[in-house]
Structure 1
Amino acid sequence: MARDGDPELELEPPRASSTGRVRSRPDPFLVVCRCFSLITALTAILCIAVNVLSAVRSFKNGSDVFDGIFRCYAVVIAFFVVLAETEWSFIIKFWKVLEYWAGRGMLQIFVAVMTRAFPDYSESQKDLVLLQNIASYTLLSCGLVYVISGLLCIGYLKRSRHQKEITREQAVQDLEELERRREELEQLLLDERRV
């Protein structure tokens, strides 16, 4: 027990713990980049769906097997576009060109062109042609934005800010761990002095 007047034994009351996580505001630039990446990934998924439908119809007819094979390649490459937008380190490690926005944009433009190629203008497939046009022109727009942004070094700026955000989050976690450890030690010290 602490005695009155003995400064050595009087303990200051424990400081209010930071039970709430120290929050820093998200970087608006990174939020915009993530939203654009999400839009691009969803557009690439639409291209995958359109190309799968086109491949199935081509193989069903039997007359246009080459178009079906072409569509299968488009599906595989569009899948890589989706993976590139997740920025999964495994993919980036093996395909370094996808780390750079200009390279990523050129891949998206290629998929858009593949999706738009060989349109079937028969009356019965107007819905598929409309989906092809929407998917291809949207992905083409995303690809052009990526290429232009890559040439303007916006991708480098995004990677730099993302690295700073990771460093900041790690510092906050370390600070919270130190605060938790300090509170544990203060509690041990209080318990020790009470004995």
Structure 2
Amino acid sequence: MKQDLKSELTKKIIIDEAFKLFYENGFKSTSIDKIMNASALTKGAFYHHYKSKKELGLEVISLKLQKRVHQGMIIPLKDSGDALKILELTFLNRIKSFPLYDKQHGCPMNNFINEIGDYEIAYQSALKKIIENWKAELVTLIERGQRENSIKNNISSQAVAVYLISAFEGIRGIRKLYQDDLILDEYLNGLSLYLNQLKP
């Protein structure tokens, strides 16, 4: 039992350090050696748990990126109440919740998509799965809003969902170029204007 706990703790250390280094320096430029140095573990410990950097990368996507999106952008969509208001609050609250570190480094999922989304089919599939889950939850909420008459019926729920995801991911990347949050304030004003157009 103790060995199992030690093994799980070692994996958690590797995943946490890998995520941090991938986020700060990029996936391709982060070597296994750098991850092991940061985690103060041996290369043997790495290969005991992972066959390759690719396998670790896929685990970081499923355990770190997917979790971040699920907790920050999907769970809030399941709230009861006015669907349009929930949409606005989910995106607004998430943007406002990011510390300076996250603003400076952008969205880790978006960084992965831009760097390795077209690099290998396994990465592409894992990242696409996160986007598709997020999109599906947005569509569910939008269509609930349409049934409850808080969102226009003559709009495509799929199109709105894709637009909201794209705008959010885009502003996370753009914010990396700026030293303050003015660009985020402009995004939030634009979001409010867009969502107002969805009212019946």
What is the TM-score with the length of structure 1 in the denominator?
0.30
Larger relative CO (CA 8 A, sep 6+): 1 or 2? 1
Mark the structure with the bigger radius of gyration: 1
